Structure 1
């Protein structure tokens, strides 16, 4: 038994269907004119015509507003009128003044979305029998059929257009893939494509240099397997799959090299979506920034040393003052001690029972020993000297601890820290320089421990407070600096406000540019603010911005996510 071969079904075009319908109606309902018309651009145009009464041809047109059909479509007149001139709307139509119309038949043709395409229309010079009304169901069926053919033809045209576009895109994609591979394999960056779940679909040859692993060994694996444990949550969330589409496009993290060491990398990602909006793949470009990070760390240390160098004179004064009165008090206490010891020695001698000296002589020697000492003075001054000495020692210890905080290189790992305590240390280190030009006030709110690199943030606070003091000094008048902290929307917020002259509009856009400075030569390298923004934004997922009003001053606002970089990524996803 043979299976019959299926042959393609050839769909009738709208033109063919229109011709067939008009021919059918000409035979079944013999009016003088049958036509299929198109309505658009204010016209009614004949597409198909069978006319032996009026002499009309395909392509003839008239104003839509003059036609009988527009009254029918608008519902102002019936679809079938055996005596058309008995219908006021038809009788008043402009076309009725030019043509002899006894009967009218019209049915709208609509496309798939219900939009009016045109009409199936019949005319005759003579009035027809009322039996013409019985043709209404057939006429509507034929008009609906033409609408379906029109819709199918449009769908076919759309399909052909989509197929042509698909062929064009396929060719472009093939050319693009070839070009992409040429570019990817020639790039020092690692170019990779990832499935929605993160698996490597493609990796360029540069992976061998970056992580010591050839591309073929990475295909099908997950990038999270290479990422430092402390960075995974920031990049992948809890599932540990592929890079989250909600993570900012530029990422900084560490990858494990095959030999075991960690490589700092910077990656940019681009999410590709299908026509339905679903993620089809993720494209990434990853480069080694280990040396750049080392240079940035060195620049940061140099900036820290520069800041401490500028503060060294003030710090020396801050230490020298308490040391001076500690020394003075120590010498005073030494002298008092020697005087008291001499009296004590006299007491010991006279209290010795083996001593033959009489009682009167003993009393005389005591009076002589005590005559050279002002006991009331010592009783008043010794406690004061001891208190001042202890205060001076505490002051020096506080300064030394603050200096130790700033000289410590810190760690790459972020740990919970007290920002208020860090700010207090900063104030201690900068106190002498600030006190010379401004009154400093603190409004420290209650802050939870903040996940951060406190050594890096100390440097940020130091730079901003020193900058505030410099801005006030340039005014030539004493001003004020206010430092406040608060928690806002899951961020620890630090505001540092000065009453300097403000930042000119023309330089505001360059304030965070490397090596840009408005200070005199020798007073700034232009690295403080760029490094500060890098620490806050890249290192902690926070933000550093400023608001300045000329003649009033400037406020720098630091926002640090309380939970560190991971909480910053969660905030972006939310």
Structure 2
């Protein structure tokens, strides 16, 4: 192609100067590219020179311009303000150019010198701005909270939610007014002076808005910039928190009332604790009274018997002393020989009057009754000592099965006739660490109660069964009988000190109390009683097992526990239940 831009054409110097400019420069002749500078070549994707020169200029534009062909160059030359075109998207990142046709009067006909500016970023920013504006308008109209557009501190727009919050039909009554005028007087200066800086705050600012009708509402406000760091075009969002504040005030009121009620409850609790202390004192006094009554009740009968017998024996001794004295006088000759016979007859007559045979017969009985009374008093004193005993027993490692077998063997020898004492234990040892002797005492107290229960049932034959097994880290002991059983009211007081339903002389009601103390307080276990009237009673004991390491040396002793039942007719085991 012969292009008239060679030497001698008179236009080389200006064109060469133009090509060196830091902008898009492309020279076309009859619609084809004949020369480009480096910036144009970059816009064409840095294609090789031979793939650019000689190609139609329109081939480097997007498909929208292909139909124009070479006429696109005429269109550029006709636009004095420049023509915006799009390059083919596959060429480079440059997508938009603003083209001018220059030097038209200095080049041959058919030649076009195109000068262009890359406006890709400008177009992109404009689109982003338009899209942002569209999104903002959507947010502005659809936001459920109040949204207000602000330019240079003046109100530009308010969304429908804002109109409702301000209680106005047309928001434009606020258009052009200062944004700070929307707020209560105490906040206006703050908002007017600090509005731009509020864009940096991430926490909503609580303020009070002034409605069109003069009422005030509480809102939380956030402010965002729509023009970046310039902060002249802002958007403020307000959310009505009047309901929350009202609820908060109500909550504080309720909290204050609850605090007062709590203070009253605490005062009542203190009064209740004081009353409980007084009640505990009364209960202790009542327990002392029960104790004193029980002791008096138990000791009154034998003391009365002792007193009566002593009076009787004193009378016997006095009467017998008079007779013996008379006989002594006769024997010593203090009576005339003639009167001896008469004196003997007088002594004999007095002996008949005194019923000496009765005295000689009943005096030993009175003495025996007195001895029994003293024994009973001694038993009561022993019971008192057991109840108040708090000394520590010896803690040892022992096998529960062997322990029970030994206790049953001993108890059977003292069990009442007609009562069968059974034993059910496991073959494997059950190791305990506790006060073995004290636990044995507790076991005897419980079995003593069972014996009395069977007697009270007036049964010819009865049975007591002691069982032991290990379960979930505990040793279990169960003593069951088929005696008279207890009603619920009696069962509720089973562990109360000195509580008994038996008559005087048949126990003072502390067996289960002592057993309860031994099991719970001294061996860390638990004890419960269940009973049904006319069916029988079950006493259940739970004790903690010893550590396996501590029980390595323990072994189960082979103890022969006979199956027959035998005993003495009227003997009980302890007589303390």
Per the normalisation by structure 2, the TM-score is: 0.29
Q: TM-score, normalised by structure 1?
A: 0.29
Larger CA Rg, structure 1 vs 2: 2
